[in-house]
Chains A and B, each alone.
With several copies, the nearest count.
Chain A
Amino acid sequence: MQFGSLQEIVDGYIRDGQSVALEGFTHLIPFAAGHEILRQKKRDLHLIRMTPDLIYDQLIGAGCARALTFSWGGNPGVGSLHRLRDAVENDWPQPLTIHEHSHAGMAAAYTAGAARLPFGILRGYVGTHLSRVNPQIREVRCPYTNDAIATVPAINPDVTVLHAQAADRQGNILIRGIVGAQKEAALAANMLLVTVEEIVDSLGAPMNAIVLPHWVVTAIAEVPMGAYPSYAHGYYARDNAFYLAWDEMSRDRKRFTEWINRHVLCSHDHAEFLDSLAEAA
């Protein structure tokens, strides 16, 4: 486990062509880390996430991704992701291969990944067309009842990136609030990068809290507001207006590209990104 700047840890551990999961279920979405990946112009990534939202829309629109494994690709509470749509519908800026699941299927795949089983099982996908378009959705027979049970292959990302509330000085990570499949995605990965709101002397975690011990963490960067415009429970609220504005902003390729240039690429880091938004407001 090492501490570093976000720039250092993205540069040090994320390579072109890798499978990368920036997990987060509405809460604690690692926006700052996604922007740093975008700034460092990583290419040919296989992005993985149950709910690719705005940060994946940005990475896809900026040409960082060759593939996407997901189960719901929208702007939560708002509507479509226009850059994701443009990639799938029109191959812009480049073709995007999609591997599509349901939430239950992806949860089973991450769980299998964390447990290092080669597959997960669920009663799922019955009567749907998803298994027609995703050949990875298969089935086994129950050795006791002979029931057909759906299977999904384990997901084991090369790198998982999380945002969390806090790390202590040893590098133990505390996550609280809505946790989605973050723990499973973290433990399924070969490398785990974490941005945190703050590094503290003691996590003060309740006994059965969700803590990732330092020895499963690859690297940590302190990035205050690192989930903005998503939120960090106990630190700041979700900027719902940003999500609404994105719907408008992202419809047009030119406006999208200008926004990325102005706010992400021309910012040196997340603090400058936040400043540039404040100036524009």
Chain B
Amino acid sequence: MSVDSALANTYTPAEMMTIAAARLLWPGCVCFVGIGVPSAAANLARLTHAPDMVLIYESGGIGTHPSVLPLSIGDGELAETATAVVSLPEIFSYWLQAGRIDVGFLGAAQIDRFGNLNTTVIGGYGKPKTRLPGAGGAPEIALHAKQIFVVLKQSPRSFVAKLDFCTSAGFLSGHGERARRALPGAGPQAVITDLGVLKPAIGSQELTLVARYENVSVDRIRAATGWPLAVANTVDVMAVPTAEELRVLRDLHKRTEIAHARDASRSRKTPALSASQVNA
């Protein structure tokens, strides 16, 4: 066994999920990116097969080229490496609402079978069991991006028959409702989990398992879904990560860790210093 294939055999489910998401992106695509897996996936794609992708972060960076992953949506790295840094109202009006985004990435606490998402509350809104961070950019990303990729871990708690709250529209009740109501974007065209990939069925728009990862059975994916999961006639087995994908992704994460550790130690030392001496 070569070193490369040994490397490829050691990937984690989270890495597979990131790589599966990255593979869906294409050269030149304009991608609205959030923190976490979406950011890792978009930058992995940019550093491998899609070097001329355009990354937009809601904090205002257009065409960012971060060398490390941001820990927050507003990290300085995003401003320093951007073609343009604009205000947040402008990002949401002139760029997202204007229909300039090819792909919007979203995560969620809950998803239903039509790709509607909840990031607001578990339980009732007035007295929730768990108050989640809320909508952020998601409702309008889900509305306006030409298509949405949803990235989240698959479990009966997250893949639910009925959302506690609908924060962002997917296909609503399916069967063409999104198109009938003339929502501008095409909605969630792929849901990438740690087990496989779901896509909306033609006609019903019900999320349907179309690909599984190596060593993950369809039954396991069914068990991780809170509704009777629709499964395509043929379920592909997604190719395992290539050595290059893993190397680039791990390098990216390693650079990120080092950079954030350095920033933190520098930042905590600075109170004693004159502010303008630091990082100016």
- Interchain CA distance A224-B70 in the complex, whole Å: 24
Question: How many of chain B's residues have a CB under 8 angstroms from any CB in A?
Answer: 81
CB-CB under 8 A for A237 and B87, given A114-B94, A198-B275, A274-B271: no
Q: Is the CB of B85 within 8 A of A197?
A: no
Of the residues B74, B87, B94, B166, contact of A127 by C-beta under 8 Å? B166
Q: Is the CB of A88 within 8 A of B267?
A: no
**Interface size, A (range):** 35 or more
- Interchain CA distance A137-B61 in the complex, whole Å: 28
A225 partner residues in chain B, CB cutoff 8 A = 270-271, 275
B120 partner residues in chain A, CB cutoff 8 A = 100, 129-130
Nearest A residue to B184, CB-CB = A123
Q: Is the CB of B78 within 8 A of A178?
A: yes
Interface centre among B130, B131, B137 (most CB of A within 10 A): B131
CB-CB under 8 A for A215 and B165, given A104-B140, A237-B279: no
Stretch at the interface among B95-103, B149-157, B204-212: B95-103
Q: Is the CB of A116 within 8 A of B99?
A: yes
Q: Is the CB of B172 within 8 A of A181?
A: no
Q: Is the CB of A207 within 8 A of B166?
A: no
Nearest A residue to B267, CB-CB = A239
Closest Cβ–Cβ distance, residue A3 to chain B (whole Å) = 16
Q: Is the CB of A234 within 8 A of B279?
A: yes
Q: Does residue B132 face the partner (Cβ distance < 8 Å to A)?
A: yes
Q: Is the CB of A76 within 8 A of B88?
A: no
Of the residues A107, A124, A281, contact of B139 by C-beta under 8 Å? A124
Binding site for B on A (CB under 8 A): 25-27, 50-51, 70-74, 76-77, 80-81, 84-85, 88-89, 100-105, 107-108, 110-111, 114-117, 122-130, 133, 172, 177-181, 183-184, 187, 197-198, 205, 207-216, 224-225, 228-229, 231-243, 271, 274-275, 277-278, 281
Q: What are the nearest 6 A-B pairs in CB distance?
A: A26-B74, A127-B169, A74-B133, A72-B136, A274-B271, A76-B72
